[in-house]
């Protein structure tokens, strides 16, 4: 089963479940939804540009806003300049984050030129970044990496041992290569190999869609914790389900009423935040979340047709009211009427935007 907790130096994370950083998704509003549902031990920010942080760019710094009830929380940075990464990490520490993470996984073309998975091709530069950031901060330092650039350069174990040798204190492994993106199956054996190679905590990530998947990953890889990304956007209850499964061997699935409350409440928070990308964020979330809702395609169409956040909220209210009136109270997660649609949702690259309708202009992450 999923471990009850794990340690990154003096930082206790309980339970051993981590929300993956996803650009355009894991802002403070979404993180607090996850925290409120329970079962997630560690939150992570959207993947954030170190250059933007050190320039104090207003848009970039917005990604680092968090509330006190989000602790423990990690800020994830990307970049390729050791000095700039160090300065940005120090700013993260000064903002009160519990840890700082270096992104070595983003496969987006515009990111690999200045960090992300592109750094997996330059281990000497990577070592300089690790050393510079480690020297700059006192809080725990972690990394999130892919298996390698392509199938001919699987460097996860090499990077992990290098990171441990210079003071990195935790490693999250997404066992796909940069060229794979999010296609194909995640090779969990790479997570197991990293776990065998280092003594610091290893967090497994990739292809966890159910509590059973999480338990199987821990069993097969011996990882210290699991990290959930895309599945949390289609099913925000997954962390709570994992915790329930770990303690009882079973878990509840949300009803239509549960989904109505969560979607309506989350959208109201987005509307109240009054950010420039509010309508885009609502449409983006609808692309994923409604794949678990019976007749979700109808709701997606209504949301995408809306022109304002208020219209989105009205569409959500009318949709669920009509379903309740029709007596459609079955479990949303167990809805098997559109399995191909649900599989498509899980295969979308949530870190970089799932569709042209829901494109949100933010930094991109893993």
pLDDT tens string, the chain, 366 residues long: the values are 889 999 999 999 999 999 999 988 899 999 999 999 999 999 999 999 999 999 988 888 889 999 999 999 999 999 999 999 999 999 999 999 999 999 997 766 677 777 888 888 899 999 999 999 999 999 999 999 999 888 888 999 999 999 999 999 999 999 998 878 777 889 999 999 999 999 999 999 999 999 999 999 999 999 999 999 989 999 999 999 999 999 999 999 998 889 889 999 999 999 998 887 889 889 888 888 887 788 888 989 999 999 999 999 999 999 988 888 776 444 444 343 333 333 344 444 444 333 333 322 223 333
Angstrom distance (rounded) from CA 49 to CA 114: 10
Residue-level pLDDT at 347: 44
- Yes or no: say if 208 and 235 are a contact pair by the CB < 8 Å rule: no
Distance of alpha carbon 141 from alpha carbon 163, whole angstroms: 10
Residues annotated as catalytic are 106
The per-residue pLDDT for 265 is 93
Three-class DSSP category at 251: coil
pLDDT value at position 361? 26
CA–CA gap between residue 335 and residue 342 (Å, rounded): 10
Which among 236, 183, 228 has a CA at the least distance from the CA of 205? 228
**Spatial CA neighbour of 104 closest among 66, 160, 188:** 160
How do 6-8 and 11-13 pair as beta strands? antiparallel
In DSSP terms, 77 is beta-bridged to: 48, 102
């Amino acid at each position: 089963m999923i471990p009850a907790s794990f340690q990154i130096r003096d930082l206790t994370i309980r339970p051993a479940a981590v929300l993956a950083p996803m650009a355009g998704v894991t802002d403070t509003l979404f993180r607090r939804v996850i925290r409120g549902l329970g079962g997630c031990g560690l939150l992570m920010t959207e993947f954030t540009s170190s250059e933007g942080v050190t320039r104090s760019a207003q848009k970039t710094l917005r990604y680092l806003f968090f509330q006190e009830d989000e602790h423990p929380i990690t800020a994830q940075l990307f970049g390729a300049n050791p000095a700039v990464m160090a300065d940005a990490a120090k700013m993260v520490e000064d903002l009160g984050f519990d840890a700082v993470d270096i992104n070595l996984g983003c496969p987006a073309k515009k990111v690999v030129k200045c960090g992300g998975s592109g750094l997996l091709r330059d281990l000497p530069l990577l070592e300089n970044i690790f050393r510079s950031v480690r020297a700059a901060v006192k809080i725990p330092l972690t990394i999130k990496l892919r298996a390698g650039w392509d199938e001919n350069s699987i460097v996860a174990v090499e990077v992990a041992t290098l990171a441990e040798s210079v003071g990195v204190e935790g490693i999250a492994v997404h066992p796909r290569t940069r060229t794979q993106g999010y296609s194909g199956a995640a090779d969990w054996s790479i997570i197991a190999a990293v776990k065998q190679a280092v003594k610091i905590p290893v967090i497994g990530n990739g292809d966890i869609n159910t509590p059973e998947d999480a338990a199987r990953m821990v069993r097969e890889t011996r990882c210290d914790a699991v990290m959930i990304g895309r599945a949390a956007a289609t099913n925000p209850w997954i962390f709570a389900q994992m915790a329930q499964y770990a303690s009882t061997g079973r878990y509840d699935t949300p009803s239509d009423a549960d989904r109505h409350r969560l979607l309506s409440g989350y959208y109201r928070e987005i509307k109240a935040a009054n950010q420039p990308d509010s309508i885009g964020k609502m449409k983006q979330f609808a692309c994923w979340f409604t794949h678990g809702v019976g007749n979700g395609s109808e709701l997606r169409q209504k949301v995408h047709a809306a022109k304002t956040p208020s219209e989105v909220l009205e569409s959500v209210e009318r949709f669920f009211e009509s379903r309740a009136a029709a007596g459609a109270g079955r479990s949303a997660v167990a809805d098997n009427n559109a399995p191909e649609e649900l599989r498509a949702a899980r295969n979308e690259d949530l870190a970089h935007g799932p569709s042209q309708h829901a494109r949100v202009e933010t930094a991109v992450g893993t």
